[in-house]
Amino acid sequence: MSGSTSLKSLFLFASVSLAMAGSAWAQDAASPADAVNPLIGSTNGGDTFPGAVLPLGMLQWSPENTRGKHTHAASPSGYEYKFTRIRGFSLTHLSGAGCAGASGDVPFMPVTQAVTSSPSIDAKDATYATDFTHQNETAKAGDYRVTLADGVQVELGAALRSGMARFTYPAGKPANLLIRNSDSEVGSSDADVQVDKASHTITGSVTSGNFCGYLAKADQRSYYTLYYVAQFDQPFTETGAWENDQVKKGASTAKGGTGYGDKGFPEPGKGSGVWVGFDPTKGPVTVRVGISYVSLDNAKANLAAEIPQGTTLAQVHESARKAWNDALGRISIDGGTADQRSTFYTALYHVLMHPNVYSDVNGQYRGFDQQTHQVDGSQKIQYANFSGWDIYRSHLQLLTWLFPKEGSDIAQSLYNQAKQNDGEWDRWTHNSGGTHVMSGDPAVPALADIWAFGGRDFDLKGSYASLVKAATVPTAHDSSDDGCNVECVGQRPSLDQWLKLHYIATQSHAWGGAAETLEDVTADFALSQLAVYSGDKAGEKQFLARAGYWRNIFNPKAAPEGGYIQNRNADGSWPAFKPETDDGFVEASAAVYLWMIPFDVHGLFQQLGGYPKASARLDRFFHDDNGKWALTKAGPLHSELDNEPSVAAPWLYDFAGQPYKTQESVRIVVNTLWKNTPDGIPGNDDLGEMSSWYVWSALGFYPEIPGRAELVLGSPLFTRAVVHHPGGDLTIDAPKAGADTPFVHTLTLDGKPHHKPWLPTSVVDHGGHLEFGLQDKADTAWGSSLKDVPPSFSPPHA
């Protein structure tokens, strides 16, 4: 196949369907891909990774650095900017996930020493890891390079289900490459690898899972197998293998996983892998790698389709750059500083990392039943890696708005997973397994979000029926304590309580009763919207009524300053309470969760004593006793805008007739917590959820209401932004936009004055033209009429 044809083939498979006809960016220094800084969020708990990946790509080739403990990843992404020692370059990663890590499968590690002891007993990563400096490291979209302290130059590139690497070894030293086959970030239950010296090929597989397994036995298990093929352009001068502490020079096979130990971490001294040697005088060593979660044959087919023999690394890099420019170019921006542009496009880059393509070029994928399935009908791709509790809030809305077909296939993928999982929709899925992590039933708002933002090419009728059954018929898992607190196995924990008490009580099979209640009312509201979309009027009424159950855990006498959401006992009594408590809540306090009723904000404000009182309490939530901003780490009585339960709260002022306070509070977060630096994301990015918040905020609006497409308004950061959408572009002009001009003075929509601090769903569906008049002083009149506030959906009293 000729070079030009190979590149065309690579791009077609690399870009899935993300290429946008007629609006590709010019490939120059001003392009979105060149503004991306993959190192943003790689420290300070952002837990992103800097390696090579394509939009929604199956393969993410990125470094695994080490803090000196072989059985523990440096961070949940495998990479922590503060630690400047690398122990491998793994083929798979998750961006921004918590716990102890996930994936990180099959690290490749070049070394310039003889292999005389087993890498599996290198407990402190003292022997087979190498230092590096950030001065010798370069990370771009789809392109990662580093020169290690031992002189090895590493260059990585990615296609969709495959990747390419080049290792340049220094002269005068051994040139060996370790394939640490068993060393997934949180271990493996099995692994095997074979070296074919004649064809310069290594093949193998690793079986893993164990996401958050250290927290509960329920997740100390395997649920996926990754298969791979690695084809080298240089002959092997030597081979060897290790199994646990045994080293076998000249061997060509190895087998055995690390296990998960008693506490959910790899067992010290266990594991397997191989190494191969090269002649450094022959020049750089290039390897093409294909992966599959179905079979070795599929891994080979993926590689042949995406990076055929003869493809150069430069072609892979350029194709990746084009794929990222096409994807990121769905939003074009003008104005702002270079740092603001980098922060914006890196946030969008992180949004477009997940979920991940999980089906192969032939359409096969491994299902939750561990059987091989085939995508069919209008579905093009099966996706995996869904951090539901996170991404239902604003991530899926943005991804679907920009890419409706991908959103549709993600919705169908979730339904497929449920059908293969005895009808249960897991809240946090990793590859072909459910992990149950976090709380609530986020698949419901996820699907409603996708439909509302234009992803309508999936089985809505079947999905809706399945979700209704899960919300009305208790299962054995719903009544189980397995995995609790963090990983409660039920889709609707203590659903029997929900149906009887109309809330989840203090004692239940959920992580926290009050938090679970709020997540469940959001799910039921979203289910009422799916009922609307499905034409089920009775279902709409039923689930809208259930969405009102939040009132059953609102205690109007909870504290001297007024009512709070709090735990409630099954007998109806209230336990002892303080607003700073986290008892009954998930990763936040009662003071934070008070504001987490996004579909019924007006109902909440009424319970708080009216709009002035609600607004005053919001003021105290966002400021400390000295009047200074309290955005994060200011104590449990204040906002935590580094985590999901708080992220919708700044937008609530729009509902109180004080949109200038939303404009100010959102902008201060954008200006101070988000930066073009490795610590530039304030907390776990959670597979792009937090980054999606930044993108929405910089554009000047936010999808506050789960399952609906109205947008509440802040103010734009850039002088112009254009959101390209199949239904019509949305152009946002703000000539005076800047970091210090957050306040809206005037706004027109399609040339007509617009006084409401929210936008109708037609803007999402068909686009339009917004023109903001911004200034540096608050206009307390604009958008202040309570007749113009965003809609709210107050169900009948439960």
Place of tokens 């169900």: 795
Run means of pLDDT, 10 residues per run, the chain, 798 residues = 34 38 39 98 97 98 97 97 98 96 98 98 98 98 98 98 98 97 98 98 98 94 98 98 98 98 96 97 97 98 98 98 98 97 98 98 98 98 98 98 98 98 98 98 98 98 98 98 96 98 98 98 98 98 97 96 97 97 97 98 97 98 97 97 97 98 98 98 97 98 98 98 96 97 98 98 98 98 97 78
* Tokens encoding 217: 């036995």
| Residue-wise DSSP of 507-528 | SSSSS-HHHHHHHHHHHHHHHH
Cα gap 119→244, rounded to integer Å: 8
CB 517 within 8 A of CB 553: yes
Convert 241-293 into a string of H (helix), E (strand) and C (coil): EEECCEEEECCCEEECCCCCCCCCCCCCCCCEEEEEEECHHHCCEEEEEEEEC
Concatenated DSSP letters of 592-641: HHTT--TT-HHHHHHHTTSHHHHHHHHHHHHB-TTS-B--SSS-TTS--T
Beta bridge partners of 773: 746
End-to-end Cα spacing for the chain: 67
Determine the Cα–Cα distance for residues 550 and 281; give it in Å rounded to an integer. Answer: 70
261: left (phi over 0), alpha (psi -120 to 50) or beta: left
pLDDT for 19: 33
Q: pLDDT value at position 797? A: 59
Residues 6+ apart with CB under 8 A from 560: none
Question: Which residues, other chains included, contact 189 with Cβ-Cβ below 8 Å and sequence gap of 6+?
Answer: 207, 208, 209, 221, 222, 257, 259, 260
Asked if 389 and 439 count as a contact pair (C-beta separation under 8 A), the reply is yes
The strand pair at 143-147 and 153-158 is best described as: antiparallel
Report the candidate in 506, 447, 438 with the shortest Cα–Cα distance to residue 471.
Answer: 447
The pTM for the full model equals: 0.96
The structure tokens 């008892």 sit at 583
567 contacts 553 by C-beta, under 8 angstroms: yes
**DSSP-H helix ranges across 307-383:** 313-328, 338-351
Nearest Cα to Cα of residue 274 among 194, 164, 196: 194
Reduced to 3 states, what is the DSSP secondary structure of residue 563? strand
